[in-house]
Amino acid sequence: MWRMVLWVTLPVIVFDQITKWYIETRFELFEAVSVIPDLLAIVSVRNQGAAFSILANSSIRKPFFIIVSTLACLVILWYLRRHSEDSPSMRLPLALILGGAAGNLIDRIRLGEVIDFIDVYWKGHHWPAFNIADSAICIGVALLSFTLWRDSRNEAAGGDVHD
């Protein structure tokens, strides 16, 4: 069980940190390079808050986000240790979320903010910039939601809830 979690979590963290290091060392702050015109650019920005810059201007943001991220990682590890044999379908989603949370936690500890660099936009309408860790968290949450939905449908139908 832990082998699979590590095979997902560690590459997410490593890829996230390598891409952020690249942006940090090769781009000036706010520099942007178009990858696909009118759709995708690489841009060097910093996010002091959470998703969509929530709490970005709060004086408690740095300790708050470090504590919340650390607790999230610990809760995921606890859940995996305690329930992974009962819920094998939860391992992949939780490993992705764990890797993403740890990747952004490293930034918060090291810089006090998160490096974001993926800019998706259409005709001047920009989605907030994000990074690999954010992507892993979103994919993990989507998979987790699907897994919970599927398991509840199976349970309601009287089928086997687990894989």
Q: Active-site residues: which are they?
A: 116, 134
CA distance 56 to 17: 21
CA distance 8 to 11: 6
Q: Helix 2-26 to helix 132-156 angle, to the nearest 10 degrees?
A: 150
Reduced to 3 states (helix: H, G, I; strand: E, B; else coil), residue 77 is helix
